Amino acid sequence: MSETTSLLSARNISKAFPGVQALSNVCLDLSAGEVLAVVGENGAGKSTLMKILGGVYRPDAGEIRLDGRLVEFHSVAQAQQLGVALIHQELNLAENLDIAGNVFLGREPTSGGLFRLIHPRIYAEAENILAPLGLTISPRTRVGDLSIGQQQLVEIGRALALNARIIIMDEPTSSLTQRETDRLFEVIRDLKQAGIGVLYISHRLQEIERIADRVVVLRDGQYVGELRGEEIEHEAMVRMMVGRELKQFFHRTREETVQPPRTLLEGKNLRWLPKQKRGASFSLAAGEIVGLAGLMGAGRTELAEAIFGIRPLLDGEIYLEGRRLVPASPSEAIAAGIMLLPEDRRLQGLVLPASVKDNVVLASLMELSKARLVDRRREADVAEDMCRRLNIRTPSIYQTVALLSGGNQQKVALAKWLCRQPRVLLLDEPTRGVDVGAKTEIYALMDQLAREGMAILMISSDLEEILGMSDRVYVMYEGRLTGELKRSELSEEAVMRLATGGDSD
Amino acid sequence: MSIGSVVGFTAVVFASLLRGDPWPWPLDFLPHPAWTPALAVFAVLALGAVIGLINGCLVTKLHLQPFVVTLCGLFIYRGAARWFADDKVRGLGVEFETMRYILYGNRIFLGLPMSLVILLLLAAVATVFLHLSVYGRYFFAIGSNERAAAYSGIVTDRYKILAYTLCSTLAAAFGILYLAQENSVQPSSTGNFLELYAIGGAVLGGCSLRGGEGTVVGILIGTAILWVLPNLSNMLGIRSQLEHTVIGAALLAGAILDEWLHRPGPSLFDPLKKLLGRTNPS
């Protein structure tokens, strides 16, 4: 593709966030009337790239050209003005306004001079824009009353009202039904006909096979290659998305045990998401680290929360050492020895303004108290002990947790549970946003805990981590348990195939 | 938001029970003996507890917004006070001298006024509860990050209901003390704005309105300042019409100062900080 014909051309885009190089020297071209898909694992840099092209982030380096002309986006508004519209995964609509109000939000045609009254012609104009997209309901309908699929069409209508020539869609189908997805694809084909360039991000490789003219693959923030036409095929994409050697900082001691593993936790025909049709069964044995792999939104966090009693279990039975357990609340799960290290430690795992000590003892206050009065001496002893054991680097146990590094915060969140001697530990993304040093320590700790007989379920979107630490792996896709891989069957390709909805074989 | 009305309502009920006033319509057919002071105190405290329990359940079980629930309470209990007293001033006259002497009599305990003794007693209990007990720690955790508290196995709903119940029970206790001291309740106005004074006192004493911060001592100091300020401004020769303005200005100054001291990063106050020789932590 020559420079002159490309509608959008990004050259050597780089972007770093604290602790991560999200993108390095990524190049990408898009021509008019083309659907370009960008694929990659979680954290490969797709969303960052889209946000840079949509004006949300500014790149650290690199240049963007529109029609060959060098541009710099300082804001979303400016990108829109230049004809680039970004449709986020979580739609950004004002639910309380009507359809027309949303389509023209911020650019309402006005009359009435100083009073800037909104001109009623927005309704007719909104209708003109939306009807070709197949959204034929009254533009006076409140957007909050629309289905997600219809809202998506309103977002696209908004992009068209902006005269966008490039529309970026980030996971547009993640909450759509099959029918709505089909409808969206028809709309995308129409957009193509109209000469609009579409950048399409999705985890769903089957959809990409259907809709994309060209696919760019990113891995670890780098461009690894592209596929076009006939080459666009599930296996080929997976091969390009993974494929790298494992780094050697995983500590998993594996001893060949003679005795068969003792099952601690067992789930039978569990359903925990409304969209699940069939129940899923799994088991966790003492001394085992089991990985739960899948892409974001596959329903893994929700499973852990259901076991921990935070979200209701819709169907199925949980057994702990063969005894039926109905975890109706976290306090009951904790009492039974099941504990969850939540996905978002800042929101769910820690009381950030409180001290290291207060966080460490938060879940054991009753146990450490005498007659319901806190015993400061014992609390301090426990906290000091945990800081030593987990190597939590803090000036003192009275330091505010918010001021610690991500890795040390995560260790504090873990320490909170280790005080309660869990038998089953559910770890949700235990090393997300954690520096390499602390990661290694967390892996070593997991290994040690497993050897002491704890059962660990590790949810992770990091394939290396899944492969490096797990004795066994379950894979989820779209609320379904798509497969179980034994140690000997583990490979990046196998996990990725199951995680993107491919068949297990 | 509703404690001022709860104070008014409970004070009216307390006076009516002690005097054996007839029940309001449509309960006016019921017998209305005069209650003994001990029984009446207990009943009124229980009334406060029930009000708090209702508020707490509405917030936790029906997931209503706390502000809305208590704002409704502000209207409902004010109306209830006027209904209960038939909109007439209620007082004890010259009866119940002993009870009033016990609850309000001057200098009967170590030479201190009884109301101060009660205040210190309550403050001591509150200190133990909030700063030394497990429950207090739960309150702080829930106030700082409710989700993290829930994920730590704390049954947050239970403690939130407890907080509302304690709050309204204490408001009822104030209603009792108020009647003992003033001996007269105006159903339509007694306790008006008290909720705002309570919030103001807490904020002035270092509590965060976002929750999870504050000390009993701080609240005592804050509330004391709030009550003393009008007198102070009077003595300084500021007209008493301006008393509310003075209180508001003091609160605002406190809030601005707090923002200045706590907010990291560049702020409007940087020139002032430079002037005072303070450097930014970040």
Give the long-range contacts of residues A482-486, CB within 8 A, separation 24 or more.
A484/A282
Q: Are A306 and A270 in contact (CB under 8 A)?
A: yes
Q: Are A383 and A440 in contact (CB under 8 A)?
A: no
Contact B144 A353 (CB under 8 A): yes
Residues of chain B with C-beta less than 8 angstroms from the C-beta of A383: none
Q: Which amino acid would we find at residue B105?
A: G
Contact A351 B147 (CB under 8 A): no
Residues of chain A with C-beta less than 8 angstroms from the C-beta of B153: 329-331, 333-334, 363
Q: Are B42 and B226 in contact (CB under 8 A)?
A: no
Question: How many angstroms separate the CA of residue B282 from the nearest CA in chain A?
Answer: 12
ipTM of the complex: 0.78
Sequence-distant (≥ 6) Cβ neighbours of residue A299 within 8 angstroms:
A272, A273, A276, A476, A478, A479
Contact B145 A347 (CB under 8 A): yes
Residues of chain B with C-beta less than 8 angstroms from the C-beta of A372: 133-135
Contact A340 B154 (CB under 8 A): no
Q: Given CB atoms, is A403 within the 8 Å cutoff of chain B?
A: no
Question: How many angstroms separate the CA of residue B86 from the nearest CA in chain A?
Answer: 44
> What is each CA distance from A460 to A474, A499, B75, in whole angstroms?
11, 12, 52
**3-state secondary structure at position A37:** strand
Cis peptide before B26 (omega within 30 of 0): yes
Residues of chain A with C-beta less than 8 angstroms from the C-beta of B150: 310, 330
Q: How far apart are CA B228 and CA B226, in angstroms?
A: 6
Residues of chain B with C-beta less than 8 angstroms from the C-beta of A353: 144-145, 212-213
- Nearest residue, CB atoms, A354 vs list B133, B141, B154: B141
- Interface probe for B, chosen from A332, A341, A351 (most Cβ of B below 10 Å), is A351
Q: What's the whole-number average pLDDT of chain B?
A: 85
In percent, the amount of chain B with pLDDT more than 70 equals: 91
Contact A333 B151 (CB under 8 A): no
B27-56: average pLDDT? 91
Instruction: State pLDDT tens for residues B59-69.
Output: 999 999 999 99
| Distance of alpha carbon B83 from the chain centroid | 23
- Nearest residue, CB atoms, B145 vs list A329, A352, A363: A352
Q: Which amino acid would we find at residue A293?
A: A
Q: How far apart are CA B94 and CA B106, in angstroms?
A: 17
Neighbours of B69 (CB within 10 A): 19
B29-38: average pLDDT? 85
Q: How far apart are CA B51 and CA B32, in angstroms?
A: 23
pLDDT at A1: 43
pLDDT at B136 over 60: yes
How many Å from the N-terminal Cα to the C-terminal Cα in chain A? 39
Question: How many angstroms separate the CA of residue A337 from the nearest CA in chain B?
Answer: 12
Residues of chain B with C-beta less than 8 angstroms from the C-beta of A330: 150-153
Contact A351 B141 (CB under 8 A): yes
B57-80: average pLDDT? 93
Contact A373 B135 (CB under 8 A): no
Contact A351 B144 (CB under 8 A): yes
Residues of chain B with C-beta less than 8 angstroms from the C-beta of A342: 151
Q: Given CB atoms, is A363 within the 8 Å cutoff of chain B?
A: yes
Q: Given CB atoms, is A416 within the 8 Å cutoff of chain B?
A: yes
Contact A373 B152 (CB under 8 A): no
Confidence of residue B279 (pLDDT cuts 50, 70, 90): very low
Q: Given CB atoms, is A401 within the 8 Å cutoff of chain B?
A: no
- Interface probe for A, chosen from B127, B145, B146, B151 (most Cβ of A below 10 Å), is B151
Q: Which positions of chain A have pLDDT values less than 70?
A: 1-5, 18-20, 42-43, 112, 243-249, 254-260, 436, 502-505
Q: Are A75 and A137 in contact (CB under 8 A)?
A: no
**3-state secondary structure at position A324:** strand
pLDDT at A246: 45
pLDDT at A3: 41
Contact A342 B151 (CB under 8 A): yes
Q: How many CA atoms lie within 13 A of A43 on its CB side?
A: 15
Highest mean pLDDT among A3-12, A145-154, B17-26, B154-163: B154-163
Q: Pick the more confident residue, A47 or B140.
A: B140
pLDDT at B278: 45
Question: Across-strand partners of A473?
Answer: A291, A485
Confidence of residue B169 (pLDDT cuts 50, 70, 90): very high
Q: Are A349 and A276 in contact (CB under 8 A)?
A: no
Contact A372 B144 (CB under 8 A): no
Question: A265-290: string of b/e by CB count within 10 Å (b at 16+)?
Answer: bbbeebbbbeebeebbebbbbbbbbb
Contact B132 A373 (CB under 8 A): yes
Q: Given CB atoms, is A334 within the 8 Å cutoff of chain B?
A: yes
Q: Are A159 and A191 in contact (CB under 8 A)?
A: no
pLDDT at B271 over 80: no
Q: What angle do CA A470, A472, A478 make, to 5 degrees?
A: 100
Contact A340 B151 (CB under 8 A): yes
Q: How far apart are CA B208 and CA B214, in angstroms?
A: 7
- Interface probe for A, chosen from B129, B145, B152, B208 (most Cβ of A below 10 Å), is B152
Q: Given CB atoms, is A400 within the 8 Å cutoff of chain B?
A: no
- DSSP string computed for A79-95: HHHTTEEEE-SS----T
Q: How far apart are CA A4 and CA A127, in angstroms?
A: 35
Contact A373 B138 (CB under 8 A): no
Contact A340 B141 (CB under 8 A): no
